[in-house]
């Protein structure tokens, strides 16, 4: 299907074959509104219930803890705003890491917020986190499971214990990690996005564990927009498939990413490979090239047929400096995020690594930067 040089799975993974099959099959009954009472609607409702049960089983939660949203962003907004609505008497302070996705930062923007720093590898400052969640007026803590920009995996279980001791619910944005690694433990709320694991776009998942104080921030008729039921069914089928393949795919992709990290550092002068080299997602690597315009680099790679993104998935249209890279204190210019998927081969990676040094050298020469 033409994925030969598609290296942007962190934005959207190619559709899983199981998702394609499930989507086609679900169109027969899934176009009917599952909220009605007639027989076709009841069949559609059975599809929705089965999809919910499948997602719950894949994530290790109860089916009645799972809600579908219109996107990963919508799920993130609902997670944050729903807790703030339910816990308004506890306060409105949201503690979050400095590297949360912009969707989480936007949802928390109208409240008090306490930002917890990370180190140069993108790792959470646990001591600062523990102190922050103990402060008065904290309604919610938010911690991304793994950075969507540099791949550093966060210590969710340890952070969760600090939240539990302080009586603060923990929301985990697991968009990049679901389907790539085991689901973390200890959280109260979790969100994910189907297009990250090879499901259709337009399906987000919100999980609210029993006992967590949460109220839907939306009107009653918008609380679960199951308008695209075939997509939900396809997302559930794809999630089941990728969870089954998860360990094998991680073992296959990690050496390819290691090859990118090592080769880029060895063959491209004045480059910084960012993120934790050990505690990281198996499919993602980001590097920053000094003396190179980021937009020009992406366009040059595109002309060679390589689909990559900037290090910031949420500011790629403007190529503004990434708040994540700035929080880490690393180079934010000329950054490239390479993220692999189930159809990526070693030969494709080798071609990218063979072409990259010349592309960077040419751009630097055009800018008058030579002798590096």
Report the distance separating Cα 105 and Cα 101, nearest Å. Answer: 7
DSSP state of 371: -
Cβ atoms of 58 and 150 closer than 8 Å: no
Tokens describing residue 91: 């306060």
- Asked whether the beta carbons of 281 and 177 are under 8 A apart, the reply is yes
Whether the CB-CB separation of 14 and 3 falls below 8 Å is answered with yes
Contact residues for 136 (Cβ-Cβ < 8 A; gap 6+): 91
**Burial zone of 13 (CB within 10 Å; 0-12 exposed, 13-18 middle, 19+ buried):** buried
Round to whole Å and give the CA distance between 271 and 274: 9
φ and ψ at 285, to 5 degrees? -145, 140
**Catalytic annotation present for 314:** yes
Structure tokens of 338?
A: 């390479």
Order the strands of the 335-339 sheet from edge to edge.
271-274, 284-289, 335-339
Q: Which two tokens stand for residue 181?
A: 């690694």
Task: Check 56, 314, 338, 360 and give the catalytic one.
Answer: 314
Distance from C-alpha of 274 to C-alpha of 73, rounded to nearest angstrom: 25
Cβ atoms of 258 and 272 closer than 8 Å: no
Which among 247, 141, 229, 232 has a CA at the least distance from the CA of 193? 232
DSSP per-residue string spanning 81-106: HHHHHHTTTT--EEEEETT--HHHHH
Number of Cβ within a 10 Å radius of residue 164:
14
Which residues are identified as catalytic?
314
């Amino acid at each position: 299907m033409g994925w030969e040089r598609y290296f942007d799975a962190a934005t959207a993974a190619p559709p899983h074959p199981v998702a394609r099959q499930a989507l086609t099959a679900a169109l027969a009954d899934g176009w009917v509104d599952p909220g009605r009472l007639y027989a076709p609607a009841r069949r559609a409702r059975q599809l929705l219930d089965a999809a919910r049960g499948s997602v719950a089983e894949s994530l290790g939660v109860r089916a009645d803890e799972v809600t579908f949203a219109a996107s990963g962003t919508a799920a993130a907004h609902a997670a944050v705003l729903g807790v703030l609505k339910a816990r308004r008497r506890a306060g409105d302070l949201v503690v979050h890491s400095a590297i949360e996705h912009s969707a989480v930062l936007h949802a928390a923007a109208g409240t008090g917020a306490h930002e917890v720093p990370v180190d140069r590898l993108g790792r959470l400052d646990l001591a600062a986190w523990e102190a922050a969640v103990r402060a008065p007026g904290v309604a919610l803590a938010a911690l991304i499971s793994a950075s969507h920009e540099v791949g550093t995996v966060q210590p969710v279980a340890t952070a969760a214990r600090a939240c539990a001791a302080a009586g603060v619910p923990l929301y985990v944005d697991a968009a990049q990690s679901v389907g790539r690694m085991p689901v973390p433990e200890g959280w109260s709320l979790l969100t994910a996005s189907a297009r990250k694991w090879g499901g259709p776009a337009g399906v987000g998942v919100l999980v609210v564990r029993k006992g967590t104080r949460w109220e839907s921030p939306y009107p009653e008729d918008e609380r679960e927009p199951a308008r695209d039921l075939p997509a939900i069914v396809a997302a559930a089928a794809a999630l089941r498939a990728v969870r089954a393949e998860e360990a094998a795919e991680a073992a296959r992709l990690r050496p390819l990413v290691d090859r990118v990290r090592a080769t880029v550092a060895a063959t491209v002068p004045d480059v910084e490979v960012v993120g934790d080299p050990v505690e990281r997602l198996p499919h993602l690597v980001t590097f920053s090239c000094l003396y190179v315009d980021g937009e020009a680099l992406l366009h040059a790679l595109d002309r060679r047929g390589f689909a990559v993104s900037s290090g910031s998935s949420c500011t790629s249209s403007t190529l503004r400096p990434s708040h994540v890279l700035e929080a880490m204190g690393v180079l934010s210019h000329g950054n490239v995020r390479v993220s692999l998927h189930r159809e990526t081969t070693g030969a494709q990676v080798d071609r990218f690594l063979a072409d990259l040094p010349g592309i960077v050298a040419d751009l630097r020469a055009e800018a008058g930067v030579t002798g590096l």
